[in-house]
Amino acid sequence: MASEGILLGMGNPLLDISAIVDPEFLKKYSLTLNNAILAHDKHKPIYEELVEKYDVEYIAGGSTQNSIKVAQWMLQVPGATSFMGGIGKDKFGEEMKKSTKLAGVKAHYHEDESSPTGTCAVCIIGGERSLVANLAAANCYKSGHLKKPENWALVEKAKYIYIAGFFLTVSPDSILLVAEHAAANNKIFSMNLSAPFICEIFRERLEKALPYTDFVFGNETEAKIFSKIQGWETENVEEIALKISQWPKASGTHKRITVITQGADPVCVAEDGKVKKFPVELLPKEKLVDTNGAGDAFVGGFLSQLVQEKPIEECVRAGCYAANVIIQRSGCTYPEKPNFH
């Protein structure tokens, strides 16, 4: 059984504004499928246009928060998970608090007076998604909030900590504080490559955090970009997973395990100088609703077993199960109870 507060996540809580769009819409905003970007000035009108033009759904999201909610759902132990990040003092912020509470996650949000709650445009074509995040209040998170005794208590309580790479754009000092605590206290610290732009534009911040990681997650696109930026001159996902697992470590307590998903292709797990591949249960195309949150769900499922000290095979199986459930629904949502045995 997972104990209370065993898993902590920190990241950018965002409200997903999700809709099925047409190719012209993607073209207009220079977007590509299966990518995630931060909104620039030219993307600012996208949120209103989505709402005006299409039939939108509002879903509480944000990469790390999705993973934590899925882990909580898989565990079915009230309060097993907790989360920190920044929201606005507004209607969307209230929705976010309600949604997280309903999910059974203990959330300690920093509530910003001057910025609205962050949003993410989820543009879907043929089940594939393109994400445009306007961080807003999520971007205002500071380590001062983390250091408050009632919030640091969540860090103290957790034995496993997960942070998506997206949070590197907001509060790298918060990440390092938590990473150093994990290394000093024999805890498991995990991160995600999250998106090509994290590997490229935020390379330095990512490289500072990597030595502390015990688990690194990512997908094949991110892995290939990471390899390119490092000058490794390989697009072989197994090789890249191995190289990431062999990246120098800040503490020798745990080995590093790299887990790379490849959509419908097998999951690559690199540890101890070897790579194992785990096949994914294929879903008939007609059952696919959208891939938004699939990677987040995989991590959530994986962590739900990891915190129970289950073998890696079980962690991967749970990750694949969770991802399979989520892609048959809109956004990162799930039925009331998991059916994972």
Q: Confirm if 257 and 245 have CB atoms less than 8 A apart.
A: yes
pLDDT at site 251 = 81
The tokens for 149 are: 């005794």
pLDDT at 288: 85
Cβ atoms of 100 and 69 closer than 8 Å:
yes
Q: Between the CA of residue 78 and those of 3, 95, 106, 294, what are the distances in Å? A: 9, 20, 9, 23
State whether residue 11 is helix, strand or coil.
coil
pLDDT of residue 225: 97
pLDDT of residue 59: 86
**Adjacent-strand bridge partners of 81:** 7
Instruction: Say how far apart CA 291 and CA 199 lie, in whole Å.
Output: 21
Q: Report pLDDT for 145.
A: 97
Catalytic residue, from 112, 214, 290, 296: name it. 296
**296 counts as catalytic:** yes
The amino acid at 325: V
Is 233 buried (19+), middle (13-18) or exposed (0-12) by CB count in 10 A? Answer: exposed
- pLDDT for position 29: 96
Alpha-carbon span 280 to 94, nearest angstrom:
37
Q: Give the pLDDT of residue 63.
A: 95
Architecture of domain 5-12+61-117+133-325: 3-Layer(aba) Sandwich (3.40)
Which residues is 10 bridged to in the sheet?
Answer: 84, 163
Residue 21 φ then ψ, to 5°: -120, 180
Give the pLDDT confidence score for residue 134 in this predicted structure: 95
pLDDT along the chain (341 residues), means of 10: 92 93 96 93 94 91 95 95 97 90 95 95 91 95 97 98 98 98 96 96 97 97 97 97 96 91 95 96 86 91 98 97 92 87 83
